[in-house]
Chains A and B, each alone.
Chain A
Amino acid sequence: MGQSSLKFGSGTRSVEELEDLAFELRSKLLHLCGTYEGAVHIGGDLSAADILTALYEYGLNVDPSDLSNPERDRFVLSKGHAAVCMYIAMAMRGFFSYEGIVETYGQLDSAYGMHPCKVQLPGVECSTGSLGHGMPLAVGMALSARGRGETHRVVSLVGDGETGEGSIWEAAMAARSNELGNLVVFVDRNRQLMTSFAEERVAFEPYPDKWAAFGWNVVTIDGHDMAQLVGAIDALPATDSTRPTVVICETVKGKGVDFMEHNLAWHAGSLGAADLERAMESLEASRGKNKNKESV
């Protein structure tokens, strides 16, 4: 695509740059969570932050100045409650102003709400929020691309808890039946539901096998390892292939903030000023740890 600087599988950013951007995204998320009085779905935002950074800054062929370009890749946030993570990732990519998000989030007449609405916020591809709806919409969009001989990808981010919805598996079958190799689903496999650890309530395992049994091309990676995310994006099959791909991203809910990680209390919440400072310190420390790990 002519105007865009990015192309799926040929992103120009280095892994290190992407890691810095993911850190910035998390910092901005925490800042919003510390200043907005209402609840923010911070746990699932933090688990998805690396995936959304990799998509908006590396993988997706999109152009913030040309929202309706037919050749753009489509992104559908099926786990719609991570909207604010997507808004900020999009703002960092140049779609919106970050200040606009922080200043108006959740307020009357704001375009930025808890769940994304395409009508109120152009640039968002689909209105989502009810779990199990976004990925089926993506199937329809991928089918349209096929029908018109278009070569862009349709990418959806699905929460693993969301895959308890039957409609996800209807969509999984429909995608395979229609041979939609242009469809890519990233699963944010953070293994937590809102009130429980996932496996305690739902027998998701053997999880990759379930997708494989539905005929999908299955890739499993560490969803917080930017090199692996980039690798998975680079290795996506051609859009005219016949199998849809699922990239199962093993993640941690609340990733980067020690008191939020694996903590059921932080599905959604609000940080006061003191906790914001504590959260930022933890985020800085975790970044340091990662940097050390890399240099070893």
Chain B
Amino acid sequence: MPVTFTFGEMLSARSVIGTTLAELGDDYDNLWVLTPDIGATLVEFRDKFPQRFVDVGLAEQVCVSIAAGLAYEGNIPVVSGMLPFLSMRALEQVRSDVCYPNLPVKIIGTHGGLVGNGGSTHYAVEDLALMCALTNMTVTSVGDPLMVGEIIRQSMTMAGPIYIRLAVGKKDKVLYEPGQHEIRIGKGIVAREGTDATIFTHGTVVAQALDAADALERDGRSVRVVDMFTLKPIDEELIIRCAAETGGRFVVVEDHLAYGGLASRIADVIADRGLHLTAFERLGIPQVYAGFGEDEQLRDKHGYGLEATIAATRRVIAATT
């Protein structure tokens, strides 16, 4: 049964994952779900398809390799866990066991960014840089909880692997009305139109960027917000279009290292395509191991919170060529 939620409501992405996988398990008798002891939200799938559910306990490496072994045999495995561990401890398994033979393994997880207040062992802040480096890997970062289900559905027919990044995934804002935007892996979403500047972002920070654009609108500024939920392959066409339509004024804000994530992906397009921008600012996590604190507090402390986003956008709009 499809779940419907209204725009602006809070929803758990994890519950969407659980429901979606349990649904898809009926359509795909070769869908397997694996987890290294992070299976609470997978209960629906586990109860429905116990034969195709594997909890290996605390063993990320073998979890990814088993998924690869299943995929070699024609199955569609989903590995669900915490991203700091899946993206780093199991990185070589992801690279050599999954990406090298281009197997349709889906890696979906939580704790992307300075979220969850677990300290630096539990923040995935380098993951997008690592995953974007891997040949054959498709890389996504999703904020809208409803979108997660759609991305998983679309990924079912992909030939190769995909990485799906969430924040904590317990309670996030529904950003889009159902049907409001075409959601397609590889295509960015113009979450809000505008002409003075573009804020590019991904994940739960999209909500913050929309708030920033609202605040700037009160000052008479028209700011576009692009939810670039697919980092790889990056939507080059949209970047080029935004450069032309928003005065070559870009802000990139993300809950990831400021260098190596979306800002770097976009900077590569700018350099490779010879785009002439008026101004470019990137906001993200500096080269520090962030301490404890709530998500918003950490964003503020490390310079990529709401106020910093508004300020950077003002600077970009004020910049002269």
Contact = CB atoms under 8 A, between A and B. Distances in A.
Given A130-B96, A144-B73, A147-B52, A136 B61 contact: yes
B233 to A, nearest CB: 20
Given A119-B101, A130-B96, A177-B56, A140 B69 contact: yes
Determine which residue in A126, A167, A173 has the highest number of CB atoms from chain B within 10 A of its CB, and name it. Answer: A167
Given A143-B69, A143-B70, A147-B51, A136 B62 contact: yes
A173 B61 CA distance: 12
Interface string A138-165: 1111111101000000000000000000
Contacts of B62: 136, 139, 167, 170-171, 173-174
Contacts of B32: 147
Interface in B285-320: none
B72 A126 contact: yes
B152 interface: no
A140 B66 contact: yes
B61 A137 contact: no
B101 A170 contact: no
Nearest to B92: A130
Contacts of A144: 69-70, 73-75
Given A129-B96, A178-B54, A138 B69 contact: yes
Contacts of B52: 147
B229 to A, nearest CB: 29
Given A137-B65, A137-B72, A177-B56, A126 B92 contact: no
B253 interface: no
A165 B125 CA distance: 27
Nearest to B90: A167
Determine which residue in A119, A129, A170, A178 has the highest number of CB atoms from chain B within 10 A of its CB, and name it. Answer: A170
Interface string A47-73: 000000000000000000000000000
Contacts of B73: 140-141, 144-145
B311 to A, nearest CB: 46
Nearest to A146: B51
Nearest to A154: B69
Given A136-B69, A138-B69, A141-B69, A174 B56 contact: yes
Interface string B50-68: 0110101101011001111
B303 to A, nearest CB: 38
Interface residues of A, number: 29
B103 to A, nearest CB: 10
Contact of B72 (A117, A140, A167): A140
A111 to B, nearest CB: 14
Contacts of B75: 144, 147
A117 B93 CA distance: 15
A133 B72 contact: no
B5 interface: no
B102 interface: yes
B97 A137 contact: yes
Given A140-B67, A174-B62, A133 B101 contact: no
Contacts of B101: 117-119, 126-127
Nearest to B75: A144
A144 B65 CA distance: 13
A100 B32 CA distance: 39
Contact of A133 (B54, B59, B96): B96
Contacts of B68: 137, 140
B100 interface: yes
A133 B93 CA distance: 7
Contacts of A145: 73
A117 B54 CA distance: 27
A119 B103 CA distance: 11
A157 B69 CA distance: 15
Interface string A65-89: 0000000000000000000000000
11 contacts: A127-B97, A133-B92, A133-B97, A136-B65, A139-B65, A139-B69, A140-B65, A140-B69, A170-B62, A174-B56, A178-B54
Interface of B: 32, 51-52, 54, 56-57, 59, 61-62, 65-75, 77, 92-93, 96-97, 100-102
Which 9 residue pairs are nearest across A and B when measured between Cβ atoms? A140-B69, A136-B65, A170-B62, A140-B66, A144-B73, A170-B59, A137-B69, A141-B69, A167-B61
Given A136-B93, A174-B62, 8 more contacts: A136-B62, A136-B69, A138-B69, A140-B66, A141-B73, A147-B52, A174-B59, A177-B56
